[in-house]
Structure 1
């Protein structure tokens, strides 16, 4: 069979309304009906959130946020907060379809990680990150260093277990759950005083995830997720976001016994495991050999070793963008593509 990629799905109409029909909250003398029901303007300040071992306190909604990762950027855009975004960084793919207008006028500070000085030049009053490596000693800057200049920071709960930072030197001890992503959405919505938009986004993702998996029967098929690099391929370990996709869709991750999110392995190991299906990262960054989907397929089908894989011989590929294999709102786009693949398989 040929590669089948489900069409990109834009954010649902209800979210479009939530993102464009609600402006930034304004101070009012008396609580509105919306605020009383938990809508816009209902966050009470000062707001304190326990975030990955750090206490974050805000006296008001941030006005200028720098987002250090595409994942957090697209959450902010989906919440209709593009007017608050002073800069973005670390992109693996084009912006999520449907969010192009939101992204159009926002400065990109760097395609990858920016320097601390570049971030400060954007004059932020708040920092968000999806991966803890940006907020570590060898990253953009530590959270303490940002705090010294009066800038609070927020790290996605998908990248921590308590105060253990996964992409900051830690290793997961349990499978990532989608609820961590929903927590991130709700907390960012509360921070920016748009809680009803956060609930709308979560509800939409939940509905799409349910629909994507309805009638899907993967029957425990084994799968390997290949993110990047033809020399020493980075594959999905047993506890990260891609492993969560496998679990949710009823597939068995061939590298479930590996704790790291994206361990580097050898092709001999992949061939030995001989997964039924290969999920291939369709990355647009083109930083490493095999980032692009076409390059991955060419390598798999021409290499004397990998060409013997049953999944290669039968072209059982599922193409996912890099952001769909990372903890982000795009997990549901990944589920939709996986669901479509298996629905077509079951129909054959």
Structure 2
């Protein structure tokens, strides 16, 4: 039976009153509600302190795929009430868990749609999602007693005040991604799972980069759009991949997260290898890798680039090019491709 908007607001206000003592929501899975933990947990998140008590959220909503996949990887599907904003299929191994969580929208859901799930926690990967023009501001959720969480990778060392996708004031570190895993594990009271996940991710990076020397390789990262292409600047998730491999990004002279750069400039930089986003969403031109490659090989400006003539492409999911746990997947795949293309020493 659909929940009316008035009922939702009433429930959320009640949740706000109860959240710091016992949590709220209608879910019955997870730790026993009859004997909640009394431990208080405080997360320092992007300049805000977010408090949790008891066993943590039971009806969490994740508004971006990055936070969703962390929660699913921590085994929290039974404590999630909804997900949104998908660019790719869910990470391998999480299909079954993801299938049991309602998908509210492929892109941004409405504020009302989120409220209808009666959330007791809302997380997002990007400030634009929890801000004006996004789903709603953090203040709007918090006025209803719903605590929010923003991925540190989109606020630490980053200025989101201007247009576009923001500017990095300091290079993003993979440790920030690991910190998000630990934060979310602490929110839900599953710290041991968080440490286990971080350990697995660290081991994968070490294995992928062992003995690799890509110091003579130049890379270009193309996320989306063929008319005004979004290319990676120096210091976001592609910067993590580049630094882990010891390579160089041909646009490491810009601190913009995803500047739009004309093809004449791209051709002039003539990178050795093109790292191409293979997205399944449909909000920009040339989302899929197939469409990107078809463009590159037919356009008179790009078809004579060395990487295009030699088909030196690496295909990555959009999530691997965002600052998430999938960035580790990006390190693995780019490292493997450089070896396959004979571009390492």
TM-score range, shorter chain: 0.7 to 0.9
Aligned positions of 1:323-334 closer than 5 A: 323-334=319-330
Root mean square deviation, CA, Å: 2.1
Counterpart CA distance in 2 for 1:136 and 1:163 is: 15
The answer for the alignment partner of 2:81 in structure 1 is 86
Match of 1:141 among 121, 136, 142: 136
Q: Aligned pair in 2 of structure 1 residues 333, 162: CA closer, same or farther (>3 Å)? A: closer
Deviant stretches of 4+, over 4 Å:
26-29, 162-170
Q: Could you list the per-position Cα deviations for residues 181-224 of structure 1 after superposition, in whole angstroms to 9, with x for gaps in the alignment?
A: 11110111011011100000000000011001112221331111
- Matched with 2:123 is 128
Residue correspondences, number: 314
C-alpha distance in 2 between matches for 1:148 and 1:75: 26
Q: CA deviation at 1:347?
A: 8.6
What does 1:3-152 correspond to in 2, within 5 Å?
Answer: 24-26=30-32, 45-60=39-54, 61-152=56-147
Within the candidate set 181, 188, 193, 2:189 is matched to 193
How far 1:114 sits from its partner (Å)? 0.9
Whose relative contact order is higher, 1 or 2, with alpha carbons under 8 Å and at least 6 apart?
1
Q: Deviations over 1:215-269 (max 9, x none)?
A: 2221331111000011011000111111211111111011111111111110011
Q: TM-score, normalised by structure 1?
A: 0.86
> Which ranges of structure 2 fall in alignment gaps of 5 or more residues?
1-28
Distance 2:133 2:320 in 1: 26
In 1, are the aligned partners of 2:204 and 2:328 still within 8 Å (CA)? yes
Contact 2:238 2:321 in 1 (8 A): yes
Asked whether the equivalents of residues 131 and 167 of structure 1 are also in contact (C-alpha less than 8 Å), the reply is no
**What is the CA–CA distance in structure 1 between the aligned matches of 2:121 and 2:306, rounded to whole Å?**
49
Alpha-carbon distance in 1 for matches of 2:103, 2:291: 27
